[in-house]
Structure 1
């Protein structure tokens, strides 16, 4: 019997798969069956790396010609927490008062379901369209993100796959469907500071060297001036000190060292390299010749990027407005996503469901929003491939 390819049925089927990172849980197997039935060529590469769990992924393509529109997402989910606090089993796909409950309903099995439903409906209605539709689905977005999208994109590139544009179905809307499109993301850089001192008795400070005043000088040097004032599409970069610690349980001991960690969410005025240079400069000025310290900057793959508003972004905004009556805000807010990897291969835009319950107890999505999101994706497909007809 052919699969029911309505967005609700696909979403329910995916929610019933316990695919907590890195477990596949049957989710990718279900997607494979549905897409093969619709005529997609499907691959299931598994990637490995020492010290990390193996991760199953999925790549599918329908069509052989250009233009190539890629849908991207993930089927892995965060743990449900205490299942006794849920109104329904988090892997049951239960519906109550018009809402579909389950871990991943919003982030982002619901979005994947809507993409699949829209693509299959478009292919049925337009069997001879010019172009290709693809799916790039990982099982490692909520985990370390090592054996997922990065390697899947490398694998596809090695096969000669070239994408023109991508829609990533992360939950982008803060309040209601249609609020927001993400056209870029800030980068993320983490640094760790250690100020060296000399442990001693507080009554004999001349025999010790307290590192805390030095740490205060360094942090003040980092925070005194803003990194920038933002750009046309980005807020100002911000540095947040997340830990300061001397590991000292005694009130009569001067500590041996002081440690601090900070994170910077930065815009497209910076690269990780230029930002590291600016941080080092500020610390040198603050330290002078008196503060002994070391700075360690952690490697990052989260680099700021922007997809300039263009015809592709316009297709999506127009489709959203036509279905919801809302002209979406073009935003670069929030944390990182797999878009930071995809942008190396093609322009990428994020649009999905409302994110208010993601990662929460009783994560859920209105069934009506699933239908509307699938309709929006369908309108994007109509507009995208009409230009190439």
Structure 2
């Protein structure tokens, strides 16, 4: 009968793997891969009392080597569901559940495509899977820690496909060939508390904070380029914590996020940010976290093969895009070329997340066609 894709998708969906819990999701995936002949290695990184669960699997040793990356963890379901969040219900030509789109459905489709390929012939090259249980959370000890482990053992693929839900409304619309970088900053300006009627006896940090935020916000970082939209700075919080109307506070704080294209680096933006803050408030503190640098994979090669497979199955030539948030592809790009293609993401992170069964089967065919064209 062949591999039962809807049933395996249900198996994954019925594991309540809300970050950082796994609830057996990686184990179920490992069992399916072992049945196909893969060598499966569970990996745990991070603190001993709360390690992050991950899984690496590989079949074959020859080249070319194709990697597939993804995550089995999901965000909390939240309220407002008409379908059981972890029930994997099939109704109305759709399969429902948290993670159906993001991204257990994509993982299941790739496993099904592997099963189809291996039922037809032996592998010519090799295939590996790097699957983490912590992409929706901090992402500190998942894909980022798996890659050095893989590199030390000769497991870095020639190309990696990430099965994130890249399509906004219909299968075949978008292949992601890059992502913007992301910088978060917390700024604290200190002053001298005092009575608002006697400002000469105080030092109002709010005024200096407002001035520096205004300069940061009105500065245009760039105009974008042929594959990236302009970089964007957004002020996400301004906090004083002052319940009184007649007191100048001693401290004022703000947070901001910059999504930046490959015209910038995180270090360059941090230096600019600190320079602006210092001119307005020399004693201010600035805490910066760079969660990922901008990257892009050049069109051609495997990207073209993937686009051809998408077009063959859907009849639509996908756009090559770099928009949206971050993904684990930002870590993979430091080791090998990477692109992302998966299901329709219209319902991801929403109540009643679901995907069409027809899309699941079409994605299975796309992944099978791509593996054939890639030569594994």
TM range (shorter): over 0.9
| Partner Cα distance (2:282, 2:147) in 1 | 43
Q: TM-score, normalised by structure 2?
A: 0.96
| Structure 1 unaligned blocks of 5 or more | none
Between the aligned partners of 2:168 and 2:373, the Cα distance in structure 1 is: 26
CA distance in 1, matches of 2:324, 2:224: 15
**2:3 counterpart residue number:** 5
Q: Which one of 322, 342, 346 corresponds to residue 332 of structure 2?
A: 342
Shift in Å, 1:65: 0.5
Deviations 1:9-39 (A, max 9, x none): 2111111112122222121111111111111
Q: How far 1:292 sits from its partner (Å)? A: 4.0
1:108 corresponds to 2:103: yes
Q: CA RMSD in A?
A: 1.6
Q: Deviations over 1:300-356 (max 9, x none)?
A: 241111111111111111111111121111111111111111112211101111111
Written as runs of structure 1 = structure 2, the 5 A alignment for 1:292-311 is 292-311=282-301
Does 2:140 align with 1:143? no
Which whole-Å deviations, capped at 9, do the CAs of 1:98-117 have from their partners, x for residues lacking one?
A: 01001110111000001111
Output the CA distance in 2 between the equivalents of 1:79 and 1:264: 26
- For residue 255 of structure 2, give the secondary structure of its aligned residue in structure 1: strand
**Residues 262-298 of structure 1, C-alpha deviations (whole Å, 9 max, x = no match):** 110011111111111122233345x2xxx44424232
Kindly tell me the number of residue pairs found equivalent between the two proteins: 376
CA contact (8 A) 2:72 2:133 kept: yes
Deviations along 1:50-69, one digit per CA (max 9) or x if unpaired, are: 6x721221111111101100
Q: Could you state the TM-score of these two structures normalised by the residue count of structure 1?
A: 0.93
Q: 2:60 aligns with which of 44, 59, 63?
A: 63
Q: Which runs of 5+ in 2 are unaligned?
A: none
Aligned to 1:28: 26
Describe the shift of the 1:56–1:196 C-alpha distance in structure 2 as closer, same or farther (beyond 3 A).
closer
Whole-Å separation in 2 of the counterparts to 1:320 and 1:11: 21
Deviation at 1:6, TM superposition (A): 2.8
CA gap of 1:151–1:280, structure 2 versus 1, over 3 A, is same
- Alpha-carbon separation, structure 2, partners of 1:77 and 1:192: 27
Give the Cα separation in 2 of the matches to 1:355 and 1:295.
39
Counterpart residue number, 2:120: 125
Map 1:345-356 to 2 at 5 A. 345-356=335-346
**Aligned equivalents of 1:246 and 1:30: distance in 2?**
49
Provide the rounded CA distance (Å) in 1 between the counterparts of 2:314 and 2:18.
Answer: 32
Q: Secondary structure at the match of 1:143?
A: coil
Of 373, 377, 381, the residue aligned with 2:363 is: 373
Q: Which moved more, 1:62-71 or 1:201-210?
A: 201-210
The equivalences for 1:14-25 within 5 A come to: 14-25=12-23
- CA deviations over 1:78-127 (Å, ceiling 9, x no partner): 12223xx3222211111111010011101110000011111121122121
CA positional deviation for 1:379: 0.9
What residue number does 2:83 align with? 88
Instruction: Determine helix, strand or coil for the equivalent of 1:53.
Output: coil
Q: Write the mapping of 1:1-389 to structure 2, written as runs, cut at 5 A.
A: 5-49=3-47, 53-82=50-79, 85-127=80-122, 129-285=123-279, 287=280, 291-385=281-375
Residues in 1 aligned to 2:335 and 2:62: alpha-carbon distance in whole angstroms: 17
Secondary structure at the counterpart of residue 236 of structure 2: strand
